[in-house]
Amino acid sequence: MGVPISIKSLSFSYGNSKEPAIKDINGEISEGELVVIMGHGGAGKSTLCYAMNGIVPRFYKGNYKGNISIGGKNATGFSIKEMAGAVGLVFQDFEAQLFSTNVELEMAFGLENLCLPRDEISGRIDKYIDFLGLGGKRLSDTSTLSGGQKQRLAIGSVIAMEPSVVVMDEPTSDLDPLGRVDILSLAGLLRDRKRTIIMVDYDPDTAIGADQLWLMKDSEIIGQGRPEKYLSDEKLLLSCGVMPPQTLSLFNRMGWEGKPLTVEAAIDLIEKNNLVKRHSLMRDAKNHTGNNNFFIKVRGVCFRYPGVDSDVLKDINFGVKRGEFIAILGQNGSGKTTIAKHLNRLLRPTSGEVIIDGKPTTRYKHNELARLVGYVFQNPDHQIFASTVQEEVGFGLKILGEDPKTIKRNVEEALAVTGLEGYEHRSPFVLTKGERQRVAVASVLAVRPEVIILDEPTTGLDYQHQKESLEMLKDLNKKGHTIIIITHSMWIAERYAHRCIVMKDGKILDDGVTRQVFADENRLSEASLVPSPIVRLSNWLGTDAMTVEDLAEELKLQ
Amino acid sequence: MNLSLYQDKGTWLHNLDPRTKLIGVAIVFIICLCFNSPIYMAIIAFSVFAIALSARAQKALWTLRYILLLLIVFSVILWPFFTTGKTLIWSWGFLRLTKESLFYGIAMGMRLSTFVIAGLILLSTTKNEDITNGLIKMGMPYPLAFAFSTALRLVPTFVGAGATIVQAQVSRGLDLESKNILSRFGKFIPLAVPMFITAIRYTNRLSMALESRGFSPESQRTLYYEPVMKIKDWLILSFMLILLIICLYMRIFLNLGVVMPGRL
């Protein structure tokens, strides 16, 4: 059963920082409600979650004012054990939340801490394991689970303690689209059981059926109430770094009546008001245009890790032309990162070969390859080490033996392109995630490789920052760099990539011009992918456009 | 890729009480220290190796093959130069190689590998939680036991992160294949700093996750997998103890299995 939560003029600043992380937060949540919190990066969403669970101010010390009452009791008055039974907290990073050897031990961990007798623990696991969809996995090693299953288990290990309130801080940001659906359906089930749920998310879709939407900006709540009211306010959402529902943006641009938040609602309105005629889209049969002058050729590549019996990659063939912008799509574990790492020889094929500019990668010298293909890793913390941004960005050039003048020039240029001018002498460690991400891109850029590969460059960034990074890549692409991104974000692939490679189970499922790949919704669903609302609408209408702007233009011309 | 050493196989060793295995490993360690003759050490090493095979720990052994090889090679090469025996085989300047010291080196190589293999048997047949529970049942304070098993648990996580960090820096042009030791040292910083940062961020998140599930190190908790000593545990322990006594008697009173007297 849920309990009501009441927050009264809550403010908090971390440690000795003068800047508050959250400022004057107020809110009333009735029992059994679903509250969705959205906002830009650094708006204070996580801090608010931590405050509900007491991690702020118990774990993170700082200046705490105001109060949160949970079921009538002050949040700071709970002991660790009482709090675990009252408010469960699920984090974005599921890897750090799972630390047990198998599924049942993971679920038992919290219950052991509550000192429940052994048979009761076992009873609780029985009670929740099917609910989590992990029934057949009770004794499985947690590392063998998929991303969605891992996050389900993380949630399950919290709800097994039967807290009245479940707080989830971006539980789907690290997941592929299928994992995301997995988690949202689990949240729905929890809601049916009358738990109070507070969820931070980036997609307005999640908020549509919620009881309340809280919009955060610069440490404050600037909108609080029924979701419909705020979701139709495009400007407000954008100012909070949230992507407005695409169908709504389209209707606004076209000057059509109605405020559809979903594709289904949009289609209903279009049919009812006879707004526009449907066409059948003529599809070009041939996928690749003209020449076969490939800069990179991947030929029959198979790959397996040593000591493992099954192939991670099975007979991969494709080519990359100079100047292309390619998106590699697919579920977690489908082999996207593995194939990308073959392109700069971080991994060597078990059989087959990768040819760059007419020469197999195995015959390149190390520093030659670094100049041809740059690779930006998903987590910038895996590479940042220097004490200043300038030093960090110049590192690649320095070890490749460039002279100080060239280093200085290239670093300046890379910082300019990534919008990091003025950051030269700052320490990269104190920057925000988005800024660190850009430092990582700049440090690859400074070497000026012909091809730049980026592994999920937008994870953990809000809409505004995602857009900025992608616009930057688009500019680089225009200047002649070949760009390859691995992404879970459909709108990014639709809007920016010329070509998409869809992977499934270590094989290429589809490879072609983006518009055509996204026209075949059935095939995409085989890889558990769903186009974004605007492309689904465009498919239904039979139009060519893949963005709100283009679709509006195309429809106006008709 | 799964880097954890535990292999979920269900052999006879998997089904033993963790306390039996912990004490058993300690006894094997002491037995190893009883002898420094290559023949005696070979018998012990091969017995332990056979147990490892029966526990189906091959995969874990394979993962650590380079470490095992290094231990043996370095012992055989280095020990002879730090110990002196009577029968001279070869000398060059102040360097002297004697038969006894060579044998001693071989025995030491086998001893160190046996330590590693015995430890591996424990880790590949015992769940992390069982090790913690075993240690608690033997009287170790909970915070200490938990810290110990968490450290073990984090090794594969950090090995994985380390591999990613190496790849990230290599793809920026860092050349780890060059031979120069001095320049290698300079390459240490770009790897070590991200490693520390990643480790600190990770443990920070981990401790938040632990606390959110009501964990506090001082307080009591239930052990869901309660270790239970069965008859076979007592039998095995008694057998190991008798073996230990025999070995100690052989060394101390009969002076058997010694090529280098006065040394362990």
Q: Please name the residue of chain B whose CA is at the shortest distance from the CA of residue A89.
A: B212
User: Which two structure tokens, joined as six digits, stand for A222?
Assistant: 């600037």
Number of helices (H), then strands (E), in chain A:
24, 20
Q: What is the mean pLDDT of residues A58-65?
A: 91
Q: Residue B255 and residue B238: Cα distance in Å, rounded? A: 24
B218 near A CB under 8 A:
no
| Range 81-120 of B in CB contact (< 8 A) with A | none
Q: Once rounded to an integer, what is the mean pLDDT over residues B111-134?
A: 91
Tens-digit pLDDT profile for residues A392-423: 999 999 888 889 999 999 999 899 888 888 89
The confidence score (pLDDT) of residue B245 equals: 94
Q: Which two tokens mark A109?
A: 């961990």
DSSP A191: H
Q: Is B180 on the interface with A (CB under 8 A)?
A: no
Pick from A213-217, A317-321, A360-364, B5-9: least confident: B5-9
pLDDT in tens, A285-318: 445 555 678 999 999 999 998 767 788 999 999 9
Which residue(s) pair with A141 in the sheet? A102
Q: Which of A488-492, A537-541, B147-151 has the lowest mean pLDDT?
A: B147-151
Query: Which residues, at least 6 apart from A394, have a Cβ–Cβ distance to it below 8 Å?
Result: A407, A408, A410, A411, A446
Residues A372-398: pLDDT tens digits? 999 999 888 888 989 999 999 999 998
The dihedrals phi and psi of A154, each to the nearest 5 degrees, come to -60, -45
Q: What is the pLDDT of residues A239-260, one digit of tens each?
A: 999 999 999 999 999 999 888 9
More confident residue, A320 or B257: A320
The overall average pLDDT reported for chain A is 89
A14 touches chain B (CB under 8 A): no
Between A and B, how many CB-CB pairs are < 8 A?
A: 171
The answer on pLDDT for A146 being more than 50 is yes
CB B32 within 8 A of CB B248: no
pLDDT at B178 over 70: no
Residues B42-79 have pLDDT tens digits of 999 999 999 999 988 888 888 788 888 888 888 888 88
> What pLDDT shows up at residue B45?
92
B147 in contact with chain A, both atoms CB, cutoff 8 A: no
H/E element, A110: helix A103-113
Q: Residue ranges per domain, chain A? A: 5-244, 296-527
The pLDDT value given to residue B1: 45
Give the per-residue pLDDT at A417: 84
| Residue contact A399–B224, C-beta within 8 A | no
Q: Say how far apart CA B176 and CA B171 lie, in whole Å.
A: 11
Please indicate whether, in this complex, the C-beta atoms of B165 and A383 are within 8 angstroms of each other: yes
Residue B197: its chain A contacts at CB < 8 A? 381, 384, 429
Report DSSP letters for B89-138, one per residue.
Answer: EEEETTEEEEHHHHHHHHHHHHHHHHHHHHHHHHHHHS-HHHHHHHHHHT
Q: Is the peptide bond before A57 cis (omega within 30 degrees of 0)?
A: yes
Token output for A43: 């708006």
Residues of chain A contacting residue B172, judged by C-beta atoms under 8 Å apart:
370, 374, 383, 395-396, 399, 443-444, 447
Residue to mutate among B66, B128, B171, with most A CBs inside 10 A, is B171
| Confidence category of residue A354, pLDDT binned at 50, 70, 90 | very high
Over 70: is that where the pLDDT of B3 sits?
A: no
Average confidence score pLDDT of chain B: 86
Q: Which two tokens stand for residue A457?
A: 């460059």
Q: Which of A516, A522, A455, A462 is nearest to A484 (CA)?
A: A455
Q: Is A521 exposed, middle or buried (0-12, 13-18, 19+ CB in 10 A)?
A: middle
Which of A102, A108, A385 has the CB atom closest to B190's CB atom?
A385
For residue A189, what pLDDT is reported? 87
pLDDT above 50 (res B171): yes
Whether A113 contacts chain B with CB within 8 A: yes
CA B166/CA B179 separation, integer angstroms: 17
pLDDT of B117 higher than 80 = yes
Residue reference for tokens 């009252």 = A86
Q: Is the pLDDT of residue B182 over 60?
A: no
**Which residues in A lie closer than 8 A to residue B206 (C-beta atoms)?**
96-97, 99
Q: Which CATH architecture has domain A5-244?
A: 3-Layer(aba) Sandwich (3.40)
- pLDDT(B195) > 50: yes
CATH superfamily of A296-527: P-loop containing nucleotide triphosphate hydrolases (3.40.50.300)
User: What is the rounded distance in angstroms from the CA atom of residue A184 to the CA atom of residue A196?
Assistant: 15
Are the Cβ atoms of A113 and B201 closer than 8 angstroms?
no
* Closest A-chain CA to B209: A97
pLDDT at B103 over 90: no
- pLDDT tens profile A477-517: 999 999 999 998 999 999 999 999 999 999 999 999 999 99
In whole angstroms, give the CA distance from residue A346 to residue A340: 9
B174 to chain A, any CB pair closer than 8 A? The answer is yes
Chain B interface disruption, residue of A91, A159, A399, most B CBs within 10 A: A399
Q: Say what percent of chain A tops pLDDT 70.
A: 97
Per-residue pLDDT of A200-230, as tens digits, reads: 998 888 898 899 999 999 999 999 999 988 9
- A378 or B262, which is more confident? A378
Tell me if A399 and B215 make a contact (CB, 8 A cut-off): no
Whether residues B197 and A305 touch (CB distance < 8 A) is answered with no
A63-104: pLDDT as tens digits: 999 999 998 889 888 888 888 889 999 988 888 888 888 899
* Cα A294 to Cα A283: distance, rounded to the nearest angstrom: 24
Of the candidates B59, B153, B167, which has its C-beta nearest A99's C-beta?
Answer: B153
Q: What's the pTM value of the predicted model, to 2 decimals?
A: 0.85
SS3 of A251-320: the string is HHHHCCCCCCCCHHHHHHHHHHHCCCCCCCCCCCCCCCCCCCCCCEEEEEEEECCCCCCCCCEEEEEEEE
Taking CB atoms and an 8 Å limit, are A381 and B174 in contact across chains? no
Nearest to B201 among A144, A371, A381 (CB): A381
The answer to whether A5-244 and A296-527 have equal CATH topology is yes
* pLDDT, position B184: 60
Q: Identify the pLDDT of residue A407.
A: 92
Which chain A residues contact residue B2 at CB under 8 A?
141, 143-144
The reply to whether B66 touches chain A by the CB within 8 Å rule is no
H-assigned helices in A136-262: 147-159, 177-192, 204-207, 227-231, 234-239, 246-254
Nearest C-alpha in A relative to B2: A143
